[in-house]
Amino acid sequence: MQVRQSRQALELTEGECWALLGSVPVGRVVFMMRAMPTIRLVNHVTDRRTVVFRSHLGAAIVGHAGQEGAVVCYEADELDEPRRTGWSVIVTGLAEVVREPAAVACYQRLLEPWAEGQMDYVIAIRPQAITGIRLVGWCR
């Protein structure tokens, strides 16, 4: 007898999205650079329904976030390839450079960059929308 596995993509609630996003340390920030989509891998924290990460002077995302109304997407996921299950969350919102000294100092303590170098800039994404899916499977 052959076992068939059924899979389904289920939409996540906003609360589930935030919980899952806060459960992983890494995601991808997507923004426009020279009229082309650009993706950068960064480690993040979530704080009061905001995604926060650090970067360095000269990084394209720092220049982008320094512009008023800088729209970005942020995506994080966790996949179980053998089972073909997992989840994905996407935050769409406005990115801005955090300038308030106490907040910068706080995030610098919370976020240790994975890459070497001086990461003096803190970027916050203020979400306009958050969506997610969970890929589930079961045997029949």
Q: For residue 63, what is the domain's CATH number?
A: 2.30.110.10
Q: Is residue 24 in a domain?
A: no
Number of folded domains in the chain?
Answer: 1
Higher local confidence (pLDDT), 117 or 2: 117
User: Beta partners for 125?
Assistant: 51, 95
Q: Is residue 95 in a domain?
A: yes
User: Beta partners for 139?
Assistant: 5
Note down the domain range covering 103: 29-132
What band does 139 get if pLDDT is binned at 50, 70 and 90?
Answer: low
Averaged pLDDT score across all residues of the chain: 91
Q: Is residue 122 in a domain?
A: yes
Q: Is residue 41 in a domain?
A: yes
Provide the H-helix boundaries in the chain: 14-21, 60-65, 101-110
pLDDT reported for residue 138: 64
What band does 55 get if pLDDT is binned at 50, 70 and 90?
Answer: very high
Q: Supply the pTM of this predicted model.
A: 0.88
Q: Is residue 73 in a domain?
A: yes
DSSP state of 113: -
